[in-house]
Structure 1
Amino acid sequence: MYYFTLFINYLFQILTFLVIVRVILSWFRAPRTGPLYNFINESTEPVMRIAKKITPKTGMLDFSPIVAIIGLNLLQEAILYLITYAS
């Protein structure tokens, strides 16, 4: 059970890191092609799509990455709590 909780923890940390990398990459005018960019974009798109539906339109500022990171952290804590205390 310990290794499963460790795996879940690492999975959410990697996904949070990829969201942060996606935000940083969006600041640059580099071409949005290539296997690394496609991997980051495809890995984070489901989370970002949900976060964009939740956040209101605020003009030029996009708060959806913050909502996505908070949502990922809440989901991680809930899953780890259920795994730890439900068994």
Structure 2
Amino acid sequence: MSKPTPSAGDLPVRRVDRVLAFMSLGLLLLSILSFLAIMIGTASGFDFTTGIGPLVGVVTYIAPILAFALMLTVLIMTFVRRARANRAR
């Protein structure tokens, strides 16, 4: 068995990491909601060619890509910060 690492050696979570993670989660939720809106709207006969319909369609395609990019940014920033902290020890 490996020894548990002490929590005092862990790096604190920075505000920018937390903001990017919550933005990613928010974009994913927005994408799911817009997908459900398209499904419900199509079943009820809503016309998605006018009004807010095209925006809902674009959000469904763009939001997951942006959410993935934000989460990847958080992961890269965390790995770089931990590598620098381990190198300094």
State which structure, 1 or 2, has the greater radius of gyration over its C-alpha atoms: 2
TM-score w.r.t. the length of structure 1 is 0.49
